[in-house]
């Protein structure tokens, strides 16, 4: 019974979530039910539940997590300021005559939007509403257009400042400390959200470059699917600069302050939120009603994140109390191939769970359970975080349950069949799997830049 309770607990959560029950209540409810069963059968110490208030206090006083509402506010503010609309229009005019020029502009704008908002759903929906009708009207293949928008939207998962990386950074930091303490190491160098931001840069650039090469090749080899735009007024250099410089400056200010060590991620998020507000004011896109809506959206998203975090804290507490963490460690240690096989199993599980769980649930529920065991086996925490982020990004694109597909389906025209979206994402899934394999084969792609900056 002791060995099966943690497994049943995890399976019960997955089953309840697939039935559509709210995530937070499912996590906490299943955890308390299993704790009750464990108490009755003598397999769970009820005194462990008294540790939960300390966990709640730790979440309340965690300065890193303050970055979450600030980055969310920055993303929502930029989304409502119509900055992306102007940028896409001018980039399309500048790149339109190139092979696959409109698709190239969508990738560049999507990457900038991802780096500015860090929210996958918002990026997919925004790009779908702005660019999909234009691409279809210009004669682009529906498969290519829908697949490109879904893939570009998921860049917010890996390109900093990503909300996913903020949450992963906090979880991996505590997991790494836990793993080092278990090995008797009390002065291990800490892992920060900034390390993950820096580590994600090269993989993020690789993804964007691979997308660009793919659509450029499409434009050259299959011009009928990516017709050039020749009937638009060329954009002037001044117009292009006015639209492209503000978001680039915003990204440089936020990431530059983190990388240089001038600010923590939380402080940089505050600067980004203020800068986004200034940009909206400069574009005359901010009024009282719009500001109210922005604040309300920020509060809703933030409340959702922290409610799930509090519920996941109950889940992990009970799971550990039932011996689940020890069971995972023993399972990994018995696997042939050591850390490689253990990592492969975890990546496969996270990929499948990405079909039914959002990255927030996976980060708060799955990562705390497996990360300490993996890190105790000697894996680099930054590399592990980037691998998980890339893996989740790929699962969000994979039919039939990828979240990005559902986001686009909600805003795509009725004449676009769901199977068209499914077929459109296949080349981009292969691209992302290739980048994931490259990072797996050469961990330096994720760890080299943080190690260089750490020495300065």
Domain boundaries, the chain: 51-455
pLDDT band at 117 (very low <50, low <70, confident <90, very high): low
Work out the pLDDT band at 222, boundaries 50, 70, 90: confident
Element (H, E) at 350: helix 339-353
Check whether 90 has a pLDDT greater than 80: no
User: How would residue 207 be classed by pLDDT, with cut points 50, 70 and 90?
Assistant: very high
Least confident of 70-74, 178-182, 196-200, 348-352: 178-182
Give the torsion sign (CA, 416, 418, 419, 425).
positive
Closest CA relative to residue 103, chosen from 72, 147, 69, 66: 147
Query: Measured in whole angstroms, how far is the alpha carbon of residue 397 from the centre of its chain?
Result: 12
- Tell me, rounded to whole angstroms, the distance of Cα 85 from its chain centroid: 23
pLDDT of residue 128: 80
263-321 pLDDT per residue, tens: 887 888 888 888 888 888 887 777 888 889 889 988 888 888 788 888 888 888 888 88
Beta carbons of 393 and 165 less than 8 angstroms apart: no
Rounded to the nearest integer, the mean pLDDT of the chain is 82
First to last CA, the chain: 53
Burial 369-399 (b: 16+ CB within 10 A, else e): bbbbbbbbbebbbbbbbbbbbbbbbbbbbbe
Q: What is residue 209's predicted lDDT score, i.e. its pLDDT?
A: 94
pLDDT at position 100 is 78
Q: Write the burial class of residue 212 (CB in 10 Å: 0-12 exposed, 13-18 middle, 19+ buried).
A: middle
How many Cβ atoms from other residues are within 10 Å of residue 230's Cβ? Answer: 8
Residue 434 has pLDDT above 90, yes or no: yes
Separation of alpha carbons 332 and 373, rounded Å: 8
pLDDT band at 96 (very low <50, low <70, confident <90, very high): low
**Greater model confidence, 181 or 165:** 165
Please provide the DSSP assignment of 55-81 as one string.
Answer: HHHHHHT-SGGGHHHHHHHHHHHHHHT
Tell me the mean pLDDT in the region 220-229. 80
Q: What is the pLDDT of residues 321-336, one digit of tens each?
A: 888 777 877 777 787 8
Mean pLDDT, rounded, for 184-191: 69
Q: What angle do CA 397, 401, 404 make, to 5 degrees?
A: 40
Q: Which of 34-43, 373-382, 400-409 has the lowest mean pLDDT?
A: 400-409
User: What pLDDT was estimated at residue 268?
Assistant: 84
What's the CA gap between 52 and 321, in Å, rounded? 12
Helices 324-334/4-18 angle, 10° precision? 100
CA distance 341 to 347: 10
Residue range 197-217: mean pLDDT, rounded = 91
- Note whether 237 and 259 are within 8 A (CB): no
User: Among the listed ranges 56-60, 144-148, 223-227, 423-427, which one has the minimum average pLDDT value?
Assistant: 223-227
Q: What is the mean pLDDT of residues 179-183?
A: 73
- Of 54, 10, 65, 58, residue with least CA distance to 318: 10
Asked if 183 and 378 touch (Cβ cutoff 8 Å), the reply is: no
Q: In the numeric block, which tokens belong to residue 345? A: 């199993």
Cα separation, 266 vs 260, whole angstroms? 14
Is residue 50 over pLDDT 80? yes
* pLDDT confidence tier of residue 230, bands split at 50, 70 and 90: low
Q: Is 357 left (phi over 0), alpha (psi -120 to 50) or beta?
A: beta
75: tokens are: 């993303």
The answer to whether the CB of 130 falls within 8 A of the CB of 85 is yes
Q: Which percentage of the chain shows pLDDT scores above 90? A: 10
């Amino acid at each position: 019974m002791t060995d099966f309770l943690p497994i049943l607990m995890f399976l019960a959560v997955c089953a309840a979530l697939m039935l559509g029950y709210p995530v937070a209540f499912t996590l906490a409810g299943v955890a308390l039910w299993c704790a009750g069963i464990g108490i009755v059968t003598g397999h769970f110490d009820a005194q462990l539940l008294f540790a939960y208030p300390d966990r709640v206090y730790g979440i309340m006083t965690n300065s890193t997590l303050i970055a979450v509402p600030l980055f969310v506010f920055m993303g929502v503010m930029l989304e409502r300021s119509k900055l992306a609309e102007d940028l896409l229009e001018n980039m399309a005019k500048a790149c339109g005559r190139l092979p696959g020029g409109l698709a190239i502009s969508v990738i560049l704008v999507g990457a900038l939007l991802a780096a500015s908002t860090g929210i996958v759903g918002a990026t997919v929906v925004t790009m779908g509403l702005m660019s999909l009708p234009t691409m279809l009207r210009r004669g682009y293949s529906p498969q290519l257009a829908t697949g490109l928008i879904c893939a570009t939207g998921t860049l917010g998962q890996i390109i900093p400042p990503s909300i996913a990386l903020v949450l992963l950074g906090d979880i991996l930091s505590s997991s790494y400390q836990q793993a080092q303490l278990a090995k008797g190491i009390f002065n291990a160098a800490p892992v920060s959200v900034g390390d993950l931001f820096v580590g994600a840069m090269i993989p993020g650039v690789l993804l964007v470059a691979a997308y660009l090469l793919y659509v450029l090749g499409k434009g050259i080899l299959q011009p009928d699917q990516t017709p050039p735009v020749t009937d638009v007024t060329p954009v002037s250099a001044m117009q292009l600069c006015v639209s492209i410089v503000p978001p680039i400056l915003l990204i440089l200010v936020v990431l530059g302050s983190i990388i240089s060590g001038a600010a923590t991620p939380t402080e940089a998020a505050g600067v980004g939120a203020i800068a986004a507000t200034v940009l909206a004011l400069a574009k005359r896109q901010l009024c009282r009603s719009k500001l109210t809506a922005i604040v309300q959206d920020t509060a809703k998203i933030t409340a959702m994140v922290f409610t799930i975090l509090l519920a996941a804290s109950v889940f992990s507490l009970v799971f550990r109390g039932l011996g689940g963490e020890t069971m995972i460690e023993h399972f990994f240690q018995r696997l042939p191939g050591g850390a490689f096989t253990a990592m492969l199993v975890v990546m496969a599980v996270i990929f499948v769970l990405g079909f039914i769980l959002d990255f927030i649930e996976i980060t708060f529920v799955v990562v705390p359970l497996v990360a300490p065991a993996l890190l105790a086996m000697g894996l680099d925490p930054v590399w592990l975080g980037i691998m998980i982020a890339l893996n989740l990004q790929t699962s969000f694109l994979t039919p039939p349950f990828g979240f990005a597909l559902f986001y686009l389906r909600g805003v795509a025209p009725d004449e676009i069949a769901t199977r068209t979206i499914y077929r459109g994402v296949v080349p981009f899934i292969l691209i992302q799997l290739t980048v994931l394999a490259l990072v797996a084969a050469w961990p330096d792609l994720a760890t080299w830049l943080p190690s260089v900056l750490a020495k300065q």
